Amino acid sequence: MLDEPEAALSPQRQLAFLRIVRDLTKNNECQFIIATHSPILLGYPGATILSFDDGTIEEMEYEMTEHYQLTKYFLQHREKLLKDLFKE
């Protein structure tokens, strides 16, 4: 069980971490439960993603997570998002 392991990891190190997870789980000898806000870690192939928002537990698709959607929007509309954010 890991709580936000991405906190001290750069995006490149998060990808390296995913490789370690895959290596440790490829023979079904172990499993990981990871609490994360990282769209990189959430993107692990075949991961079961659970949302604990609003007092309920729901399984979600990767593309439906708030973290994925916000990151995608930021990458596609960075200037607009920052302009709106810094508007006085």
Q: What are phi and psi of 2, to 5 degrees?
A: -125, 135
First to last CA, the chain: 42
The whole-chain average pLDDT of the chain stands at 95
Residue 3: pLDDT band by 50, 70, 90 thresholds? very high
Q: What is the mean pLDDT of residues 34-57?
A: 95
pLDDT at position 29 is: 84
- Kindly report the number of other CB atoms within 10 A of residue 12's CB atom: 9
Place of tokens 């990808």: 15
Dihedral angle at the C-alpha atoms of 14, 77, 85, 40, nearest 10 degrees? -10
pLDDT at position 62 is: 98
Using CA of residue 49, residue 35, residue 18, residue 23, what is the dihedral sign?
Answer: negative
Q: What is the mean pLDDT of residues 23-35?
A: 92
* Percentage of the chain modeled with pLDDT above 70: 100
